[in-house]
């Protein structure tokens, strides 16, 4: 019954915030529904296309939704489900949704440009370069964290005696692992991922190229998902984690360079059906289990802060870092400043898409917490997620397994299905979004790397010369009008921000082929993959998730601070943006220092993560100084303007 109260409170609180607090923000920032958006004023039929709000919302939510709202709550619920739920609800409403709304609104008001370009306009070129480097490091950490999670999920096995399966069953493959009978769950999800990826180009060709009706493609996508799982049950794939990491790296290397419709957009289209169906299934499971008063023995307690501190770390800032995307995510600002701001047909839609999109993601995180309340057996949860804490030396925590088992137990209590069936559903739900996030984030990293090269070398003739006909360049992502795809950001600066000169500098000798190499999408894709692997192969999952979440929420703090500067220029009040920005900056900065101490204790074991931590801290300090300098400049400018108004023009 407690879970029903939790879900009711979540719905009322999030829905009320969307209705009332979002309107307060709209009045405060000066939202103007009658103002023409870039999708209308710059309509070109390529990047700037006015699109109905429900369609843009679906695109935006598919871009921002990933494994974060699932994995974060699984790791953080060790502190108890009440603190986790409070952070998801309060953080989602007052920080995360406000961040997403402001990022979407600013990008739209500035003419449909990326957040990095807004940084250039407010703080200058040097700050723009610093922010872009920070984004590259952050995205590499995102990719590394999700790559390791994917490899773990695709190789996961569960003890046979925890799955309520009959001895004579032949649906799931059973193997002996270190003397223990285990059921291969990950292999089924592996084949499902392979099948969906293999047919994604066909769906993209039908949906995006031949304009087949959306409902027909949706039915096909649902059928593909069902068939892929059935094939996985019969023919599971079994590779070791390292092999999966290399195979997935090869896939995203290709996906980051080919036209977006082949894999990126088409996989998004298929997987969004898993997301919607999965969220609905989680909610129905919780309602049925709650109505029946069902629950596991030894559940996760409401408050467990002392044990959480011993197992994971100090309550603050750890809890507020670990639950990243379910409460606040800087990654969302990249999506907002990408294709989303170029499709919005009114400023009112920036709130409906930005604010409500984050509320829906917070609701997903609340559903995950509800599933853990109902289906997570504390003793099993600790073995799966925190094995070192319970004395299993050498074992690695597996948050994916913890989520899958909670779903399996909850589904068994609600509907009586075998635990293995629910666990498999949870695994497939999570894995689809891990891979989708991987190929999106690698492409984003590639765009950012290309933007760095353009900033430094745009004055040379190699960077100003066309590399392909315009239609080919747009298709393959090498021209100035690169369509970003689902969640992508076209990184070419606006004409007023261009670094190119009227007369390009001629190049010769070894510099010319080097600059030519820097322009190639496959080279920059390889750089993005190499960065991802350098982090993934040298950092454990716990360390990777923490530094990824920290950098992700640090970016959110910076975007909020940028929004405060942006509003100051317009003589608007900023306390409702500045307070969340300062709070998140203090939280993430503290965690960066804590992580630095940990990395310095054994630098040889985590050198890439140590370097990343230091780079992030230095860039943060630089951007903070630049932001404060600009804030003081604006304050002095405001005082001067007010003084002139008081004394009059002739005094």
List, for residues 183-195, the tens digit of each pLDDT value: 887 777 778 888 8
Tell me which of 495 and 339 has the higher pLDDT.
339
Write out the two tokens for 241: 């984690």
Cα 458 to chain center, whole Å?
Answer: 30
CB 99 within 8 A of CB 333: yes
- Residue 162: DSSP 8-state: G
Q: Which segment, 57-61, 177-181, 441-445, 569-573, is predicted with the most confidence on average?
A: 569-573
- Our CA dihedral for 641, 645, 646, 651, rounded to 10 degrees, sits at 100
Confidence band for 46, pLDDT divided at 50, 70 and 90: low
* Beta pairing, strands 157-159 & 174-177: unpaired
Q: Give dist(CA 392, CA 306) in Å, integer.
A: 20
Tell me which of 329 and 59 has the higher pLDDT.
329
Q: Give dist(CA 456, CA 468) in Å, integer.
A: 22
Confidence band for 56, pLDDT divided at 50, 70 and 90: confident
CA distances (Å), origin 193, targets 150, 265, 282: 10, 15, 21
Confidence band for 469, pLDDT divided at 50, 70 and 90: very low
Q: In the chain, what percentage of residues exceed pLDDT 70?
A: 91
Write out the two tokens for 515: 């600059």
φ/ψ bin of 394: left (φ > 0), alpha (ψ from -120 to 50), beta (otherwise): left
Say whether pLDDT at 435 is over 80: no
Among 54-58, 71-75, 420-424, 506-510, the least confident range = 54-58
The H-or-E segment that residue 234 falls in is: helix 214-234
Given this model, what pLDDT does residue 177 score? 80
Number of CB atoms found within 10 A of residue 36's CB: 14
Kindly list the domain boundaries of the chain, sorted by start residue: 2-447+533-588+621-637
Tell me which of 453 and 67 has the higher pLDDT.
453
Among 141-145, 233-237, 458-462, the least confident range = 233-237
**Sequence-separated (6 or more) residues with CB below 8 Å from residue 84:** 73, 76, 77, 319, 323, 369
CB 589 within 8 A of CB 172: no
SS3 337: coil
- Our CA dihedral for 51, 54, 59, 63, rounded to 10 degrees, sits at 130
- Give mean pLDDT, residues 85-106: 97
- 182 DSSP β-pair partners: 159, 175
Given this model, what pLDDT does residue 470 score? 33
Given this model, what pLDDT does residue 647 score? 65
Tell me which of 241 and 642 has the higher pLDDT.
241
Q: Give dist(CA 426, CA 405) in Å, integer.
A: 8
Number of CB atoms found within 10 A of residue 376's CB: 28
Q: Give dist(CA 120, CA 453) in Å, integer.
A: 15
CB 331 within 8 A of CB 142: yes
Nearest to 236 by CA among 175, 169, 171, 189: 189
Q: Give dist(CA 521, CA 273) in Å, integer.
A: 30
Q: What is the mean pLDDT of the chain?
A: 85
Taking only the tens place, the pLDDT of each residue in 330-342 is 999 988 887 789 8
Given this model, what pLDDT does residue 465 score? 64
- Give mean pLDDT, residues 271-280: 81
Q: 293: exposed, middle or buried (C-beta count within 10 Å: 0-12, 13-18, 19+)?
A: exposed
Say whether pLDDT at 491 is over 80: no
Look at the chain and count its residues: 651
Given this model, what pLDDT does residue 479 score? 37
CB 303 within 8 A of CB 315: no
């Amino acid at each position: 019954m407690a879970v029903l109260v939790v879900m009711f409170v979540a719905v009322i609180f999030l829905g009320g915030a969307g209705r009332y607090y979002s309107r307060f923000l709209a009045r405060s920032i000066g939202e103007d529904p009658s103002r023409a958006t870039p999708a209308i004023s710059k309509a070109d039929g390529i990047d700037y296309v006015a699109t109905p709000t429900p369609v843009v919302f679906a695109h935006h939510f598919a871009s921002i939704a990933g494994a974060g709202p699932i994995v974060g709550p699984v790791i953080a619920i060790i502190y108890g489900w009440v603190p986790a739920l409070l952070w998801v609800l309060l953080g989602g409403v007052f920080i995360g949704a406000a961040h997403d709304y402001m990022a979407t609104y600013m990008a739209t008001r500035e003419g449909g440009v990326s957040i990095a370009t807004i940084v250039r306009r407010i703080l200058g070129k040097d700050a723009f370069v610093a922010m872009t480097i920070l984004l590259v490091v952050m995205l590499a950490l995102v990719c590394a964290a999700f790559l390791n999670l994917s490899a773990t999920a695709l190789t996961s096995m569960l003890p046979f005696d925890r799955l309520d399966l009959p001895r004579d069953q032949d649906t799931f493959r059973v193997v002996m692992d270190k003397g223990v009978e285990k059921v291969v769950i990950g292999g089924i999800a592996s084949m499902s991922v392979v099948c969906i990826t293999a047919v994604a180009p066909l769906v993209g060709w039908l949906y995006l190229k031949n304009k087949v009706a959306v409902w027909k493609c949706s039915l096909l996508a649902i059928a593909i998902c069902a068939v892929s799982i059935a094939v996985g049950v019969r023919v599971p794939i079994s590779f070791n984690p390292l092999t999966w990491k290399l195979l997935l790296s090869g896939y995203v290397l290709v996906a980051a360079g080919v036209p977006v419709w082949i894999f990126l957009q088409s996989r998004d289209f298929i997987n969004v059906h898993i997301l919607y169906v999965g969220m609905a299934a989680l909610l129905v499971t919780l309602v049925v289990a709650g109505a029946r008063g069902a629950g596991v023995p030894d559940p996760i307690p409401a408050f467990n802060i002392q044990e959480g501190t011993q197992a994971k770390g100090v309550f603050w800032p750890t809890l507020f870092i670990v639950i990243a995307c379910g409460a606040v995510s800087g990654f969302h600002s990249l999506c907002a400043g990408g294709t989303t701001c170029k499709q919005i047909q009114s400023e009112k839609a920036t709130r409906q898409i930005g604010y409500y999109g984050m509320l829906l993601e917070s609701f997903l995180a609340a559903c995950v917490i509800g599933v853990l309340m109902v289906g997570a057996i504390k003793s099993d949860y600790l073995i799966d997620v925190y094995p070192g804490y319970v004395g299993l030396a050498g074992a690695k925590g597996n948050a994916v397994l913890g989520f899958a088992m909670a779903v399996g137990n909850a589904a068994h209590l609600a509907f009586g299905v075998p635990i293995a069936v629910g666990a498999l559903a949870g695994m497939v739900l999570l894995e689809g979004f891990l891979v989708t996030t991987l190929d999106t984030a690698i492409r984003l990293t590639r765009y950012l790397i290309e933007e760095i090269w353009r900033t430094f070398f745009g004055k040379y003739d190699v960077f100003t010369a066309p590399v392909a006909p315009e239609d080919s360049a747009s298709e393959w992502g090498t021209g100035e009008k690169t369509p970003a795809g689902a969640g992508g950001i076209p990184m070419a600066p606006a004409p007023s921000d261009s670094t190119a000169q009227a007369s390009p500098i001629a190049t010769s000798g070894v510099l010319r082929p080097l600059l030519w190499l820097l322009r190639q999408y496959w080279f920059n894709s390889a750089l993005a993959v190499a960065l991802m692997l350098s982090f993934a192969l040298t950092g454990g999952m716990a360390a990777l998730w923490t530094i990824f979440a920290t950098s992700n929420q640090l970016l959110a703090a910076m975007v909020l601070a940028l929004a405060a500067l942006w509003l100051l220029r317009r003589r608007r009040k900023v306390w409702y943006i500045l307070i969340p920005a300062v709070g998140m900056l203090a939280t993430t900065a503290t965690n960066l220092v804590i992580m630095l101490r940990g990395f310095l204790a054994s630098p040889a074991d985590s050198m890439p993560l140590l370097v990343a931590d230091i780079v992030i801290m230095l860039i943060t300090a630089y951007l903070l100084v630049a932001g404060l300098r600009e804030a003081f400049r604006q304050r002095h400018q405001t005082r001067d303007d007010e003084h002139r108004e008081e004394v009059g023009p002739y005094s």
